[in-house]
Amino acid sequence: MKFFADTADVADIQDLASTGLLDGVTTNPSLIAKSGRDLKEVTREICALVDGPVSAEVVALDHQEMMKEADILRHIADNVCIKVPLTIDGLKTCKALTRDGALVNVTLCFSANQALLAAKAGATFVSPFVGRHDDVGQNGMALIADIRRIYDNYAFSTEILVASVRHPIHVHEAALIGADVMTAPPAIIRQLVRHPLTDKGIEGFLADWGKTGQAI
Ligand code: E4P
């Protein structure tokens, strides 16, 4: 399973990338606004920090304008992945861009039928938002399982990118289902490593080691 960081915070990305465990980054207009940075400038910096895809989202709503924005974003770096919304214009843009060799992430997916359309449009990634799905009383993980089954039924190569991840259980469940990628805020990625018994174990081993008087 690939791990993407869902942030536009360069310092956080740099720190996670240094672990060697980061496979890519996703941003969106809200995360760019939160960073307080210029979209093109911050995207260029992020692309230089990670080898994998860095999603940068268009904000236009019609196909022609999306194509113009995508053209600008694509030229920032080779690993930019154009993020388009799951609308008819977004799907048209996805089809045109992937035909031209671009990476495309179709975002704001909330149903299995939408995911089916994204795959038919040749998307590199589809982003179902599990947390926002849960927020409205639906089951985000059931959606991931449905999409996995549908994509496997037809051998679609579109990767399922589990988005809007809110806690480590989302990551665990997405991995059991066989999602290809998950994107989560850096704090959640860091939480994955923590276990109280690991900390307690280290403490016990070090206390016993101290009694031996040895050094390695
Ligand atoms: C995905 O690419 C989105 O940026 C993201 O996961 C949205 O998450 P949120 O629902 O926490 O805003």
In the prediction, which pLDDT does 142 show? 97
In the prediction, which pLDDT does 90 show? 98
Which residues does a 6 A CB cutoff place in the pocket of ligand 1?
6, 26, 28, 107, 127, 129, 131-132, 163-164, 183
Per-residue pLDDT of 60-119, as tens digits, reads: 999 999 999 999 999 999 999 999 999 999 999 999 999 999 999 999 999 999 999 999
**Residues of the chain whose pLDDT is less than 70?**
none
Q: How far is the CA of 20 from the centre of ligand 1 (A)?
A: 23
The C-alpha atoms of residue 92 and residue 86 are separated, in whole angstroms, by 10
Options 1.20.1340.10, 3.40.50.300, 3.20.20.70, 3.60.21.10; CATH of 2-212: 3.20.20.70
Q: How far is the CA of 166 from the centre of ligand 1 (A)?
A: 9
pLDDT averaged over every residue in the chain: 98
Sequence-distant (≥ 6) Cβ neighbours of residue 211 within 8 angstroms = none
Q: What is the DSSP letter of 57?
A: E
In the prediction, which pLDDT does 138 show? 94
The C-alpha atoms of residue 127 and residue 207 are separated, in whole angstroms, by 46
In the chain, domain spans: 2-212
In the prediction, which pLDDT does 117 show? 98
For ligand 1, atom 5, which residue shows the shortest CA distance? 164
Is 68 catalytic? The answer is no
The atom of ligand 1 lying closest to the CA of 4 is: 2
